[in-house]
Structure 1
């Protein structure tokens, strides 16, 4: 295993770059939580290509949010990806009890994590090859996932 890398995130450009780094390192699982995913570049063509390659290579994506409205309005590429890989992607919405949660994170393969400490601010940290740094976000994601319900399901007419 390589040495853990801890990198601060203080700007939108750094967040975008670290998110793409996290995607590039994922091989088996991607778990994402954010209140609305407005900061995540899920509609970007490069991110779409990276997610498609990840899912085509037998990866699975789990996405949890308080609301999917931003995704539905602004990320048509992601909605197409969901339709094309519905067997490998699951999107859930948290129940109202969890709406006080304001952090945000992306976990790749349980050892790489990108965290924003509060969803109202971009400040955060990326930790690559760092299973210890990913442990608490993994536990938080499991709890969030258990208390959420399925959303963004593709239908015969699209979404």
Structure 2
């Protein structure tokens, strides 16, 4: 009997290059939703040409990006491509900022389509894990993201400039 299921893959990483490689793979697999949390997105390279290409492809196929940070300073100062992406796809991207009560949160994760996840266990360190094709592995992070999202305020908008 043929199986249509895809086997779960788990990949551990502990370098910046490996984290970014797994992040790009996770984003490239997304078709419907991307939910991202990081204190400042400084290691995510959201303003790189490669990331811009991946995100544009995702958004041009009606994907929705939800992004939460403690601060948007890194994106405002060092990611002009992301600012253009936000302008071009403002209807499909929502950037939020955490409430002061959540500033102690230090993990970092990206969940694609509720079945793929890349997470760093602490935002100050590169050690983390990517899990592909496993909805059970994304359930707790998605619940966490929803709880964080509920305590956010509007953040970066199309046309926002750094001060």
Determine if the TM-score, normalized by the shorter chain, exceeds 0.5: yes
- Say whether 1:38 aligns with 2:42: yes
- Say whether 1:4 aligns with 2:3: no
**Partner in structure 1 of residue 63 of structure 2:** 59
For structure 2, the residue ranges without an aligned partner over 5 or more in a row are none
For structure 1, the residue ranges without an aligned partner over 5 or more in a row are none
- CA RMSD of the aligned region, Å? 0.8
Aligned-pair CA distance for 1:132: 1.1
What is the CA deviation profile of residues 24-69 of structure 1, one whole-angstrom value per residue up to 9, with x for unaligned ones?
A: 1000000000000001010110110110010000000000000000
- Say whether 1:131 aligns with 2:135: yes
**Partner in structure 1 of residue 145 of structure 2:** 141
Aligned-pair CA distance for 1:9: 1.2
**Partner in structure 1 of residue 76 of structure 2:** 72
SS of structure 1 residue aligned to 2:146? helix
- Give the TM-score normalised by the residue count of structure 2: 0.94
Distance 1:8 1:153 in 2: 34
Distance 2:53 2:68 in 1: 21
| Aligned with residue 155 of structure 2, among 142, 151, 154 | 151
Distance 1:47 1:147 in 2: 27
Distance 2:21 2:116 in 1: 14
Runs of 4+ that moved beyond 6 A = none
What is the CA deviation profile of residues 126-155 of structure 1, one whole-angstrom value per residue up to 9, with x for unaligned ones?
A: 000011111111011001111001111124
| Aligned with residue 95 of structure 1, among 92, 99, 104 | 99
Q: How many residues align?
A: 157
- Give the TM-score normalised by the residue count of structure 1: 0.97
- Say whether 1:50 aligns with 2:50: no
